[in-house]
Amino acid sequence: MLTGLTEDKPMTHIVGATKGLGRYIAWEPSCYDRKDYLLSNLPHGINRDPYLRTFKEDIELDYIVERLQNVDILYITSPVAPRDELYYFRANEYLFHGQKIWSKWHSFVHLLPDIRPSHSIEQPCYFVGTRPNYTHQMVDFLPNLLLRDELTQVVPANAINLIGCQNPILEHCLSFEESKVTVDNQFLELSRMADPCKPLSYNGWHINCISFRELYLVRHLSIFKAFSLLRDTFANALDRVQGLGSSGQDLRNRSIFLARSDDRILNQNQLSSDLSRYHSVTISKQLSSLSMIEKYQYLSDFRTFILPPGSENINALCLASSNSCFIQMIPREFTSLLNSPFYSFAGLRYNLPFLHRTVFWQPSSVGPGINSAIWSLRNMPSMSTLNKDLNL
């Protein structure tokens, strides 16, 4: 049930990525048969047809880019912890946010069609976006900026990169000395245009509306394309780090557990102790304090990565070498992963490009939180046969 909607403001005005809001200026179909790839690596226990339906757009399309005229951005922020940023695009009486299903958790949706803009921007803008969350910033928004290098024929050079608000994660990513980012890292911030005195407040959210005469918007970016852009961007650095960072040890025997800093893994202390004692696994909690180059150097010494649910797995998926393999911890059984967008779009989707070198570790019992659980060594995939099973 969608909290906050009224009968005269139904969900039908919210559209997905394939409903046109403006003029399509660039699109790219998948470059290979991802359907066969996903089916050949289908995790045991996941139903084939819902699996393909859920990730249909990622399978068929690399990206869709539109040129919108006279479009409004509803910039929605949570000023108190946990801070957050959300964006709705309003054009031709439609609202676009991304995957439609997320609007079920936005109690303010019924207000959005009627909010008037407080500012108007005449200069062309290219939407990049920000969000103060490592996974979303790294994989869902940074690739918008990287894609612009491929859109020079359709996006004018004078279009300003548009974000919500500068954050340390974005600065961390763009400070990496070997990146191939060629666009000007100057941004127009929605937060600076928002009216600090008169935001519309609703259930703890602040809502501001800004109008744009011309906006270039990435309506869809496949998770396959997003990771390709990220890895290509850091390719030169990866080559350099793999030459300098490796200790020369046999990486087939080097494993690391990227432990979380919170209590999402309810038995993390005991699990870390057992992994170290019985499997000689290195336990890491330090990645958040490292620079990007330091992360590359550190991760290049490992072949097998045990990944918790959540943002720590993004470090390995983005930065580990291409011959590494992953044991991905999942907070629910396979049969439940497609039942909630928190496990499908915000979980399994990030693993799709790496399924050919990933095995999944199901929990022994689930916790009270969405992603909290207990994992047992008895359920862990065998590390001694992992490389052989994945043909690495």
Supply the Cα-derived Rg of the chain in whole angstroms: 22
Contacts of 358 (CB under 8 A, 6+ apart): 325, 326, 327, 328, 351, 390
Distance in angstroms (rounded) separating the CA atoms of residues 389 and 291: 33
How much is the pLDDT for 239? 60
Q: What residue type is 230 in one-letter code?
A: L
* pLDDT score of 182: 43
What is the spatial distance between Cα 166 and Cα 207, in angstroms, rounded to a whole number? 18
Q: Where are the alpha helices (DSSP H) in the chain?
A: 34-40, 48-54, 56-60, 134-135, 142-147, 168-174, 190-193, 223-233, 235-244, 268-279, 292-299, 312-319, 386-389
Phi-psi region of 207 (alpha: psi -120 to 50; beta: other; left: phi over 0): beta
Report the distance separating Cα 43 and Cα 93, nearest Å: 40
The 8-class DSSP code of residue 232 comes to H
**Spans in the chain with pLDDT lower than 70:** 1-12, 81, 175-185, 196-197, 235-253, 383-392
Instruction: Answer for the pair 359, 326: CB distance below 8 angstroms, yes or no.
Output: yes
List phi, psi (to 5°) of 2.
Answer: -85, 110
Q: State how far the Cα of 134 lies from the Cα of 311, in Å rounded to an integer.
A: 6
Taken in order 259, 263, 268, 269, the sign of the CA dihedral is positive
- Kindly state the tokens that stand for 127: 């939407």
Question: How far, CA to CA in Å, does 17 sit from each of 27, 64, 78, 376?
Answer: 12, 8, 25, 40
Distance CA 211, CA 71 (A): 6
pLDDT given for residue 4 in this prediction: 35
Q: Which two tokens stand for residue 95?
A: 């609202």
Supply the pTM of this predicted model.
0.90
C-alpha 130: how far from its chain's center? 11
> CB atoms < 10 A from the CB of 62, how many?
22
Extents of the domains making up the chain: 11-227, 234-389
- The residues pairing with 188 across neighbouring beta strands, listed in sequence order, are 162
Contact 126, 222 (CB under 8 A): no
How distant, in Å, are the alpha carbons of 104, 151, 309 from that of 85? 16, 26, 22
Please report the pLDDT score of residue 261 as a whole number: 85
Please report, as a single letter, which amino acid is at residue 391. Answer: N
The Cα–Cα gap between 65 and 17 comes to: 10
The model's pLDDT over 251-298, given as tens digits with 9 standing for 90+, comes to 556 999 999 888 899 999 999 999 999 999 999 977 888 888 888 888
Of 391, 320, 390, 317, nearest to 359 (Cα)? 390
Other beta carbons within 10 Å of 230: 21
Rounded CA gap, 237 and 318, in Å? 12
